Amino acid sequence: MGLFDIFGKKDAAADITKGSPFLISTELVPYRLYSRRNSSATLIVKVRNVTKDILLTSVVAELPERLGFDEMVLSRQREVRVGEMQPNEQKEVKFNVYGGVGSDAGDYTLRLTTIAHYRDYSHVLNAVRKQIAISVV
């Protein structure tokens, strides 16, 4: 019996922190970048709230060196604040990924983190991480 059970309140954070609150699917269009020249691709991230609660959500994407979110290949991290997601709601976020003259051929790993927040964007309840391989040919 928890402290909140005495007062008749439910601890909603316990349900969210137990399992994965999101289902994440990704798509890269076109599916590869070209080495040693300026090229770009669009990363489409689909996030679905699989809990029974409304979640304040944000998506953070981090790229390795030699790839970027701008044409100058300088910005390597981007955060998109999705907002409140209703139960079983799906939202789509798009990131433009750029390769430049310094991008060598090979596979690069993009780290994607989807975060469930509490009250505002500075408090974190749970996070789901996913790694995506980006091919540069």
Indicate the pLDDT class of residue 11, thresholds 50, 70 and 90: low
Give the global pTM.
0.86
β strands within the chain, DSSP E: 22-29, 32-33, 39-49, 55-62, 67-68, 77-85, 90-99, 106-118, 120-136
Indicate the pLDDT class of residue 135, thresholds 50, 70 and 90: very high
pLDDT at 71 over 80: yes
Indicate the pLDDT class of residue 113, thresholds 50, 70 and 90: very high
Q: From CA 72, how far away is CA 35, in angstroms rounded?
A: 15
Token pair belonging to 113: 């983190």
Q: How do 55-62 and 90-99 pair as beta strands?
A: unpaired
Nearest-CA neighbor of 60 among 113, 116, 24? Answer: 113
pLDDT at 90 over 60: yes
Indicate the pLDDT class of residue 66, thresholds 50, 70 and 90: very high
Q: What is the mean pLDDT of residues 36-50?
A: 96
Q: What are phi and psi of 112, to 5 degrees?
A: -120, 130
Average pLDDT, rounded, for the chain: 91
> CATH number of the domain at 3-136, please?
2.60.40.3880
Model pLDDT, residue 14: 61
DSSP 42: E
pLDDT at 52 over 80: yes
Domain locations along the chain: 3-136
Model pLDDT, residue 28: 97
Judge whether 31 and 135 are in contact, CB under 8 Å: yes
pLDDT at 12 over 80: no
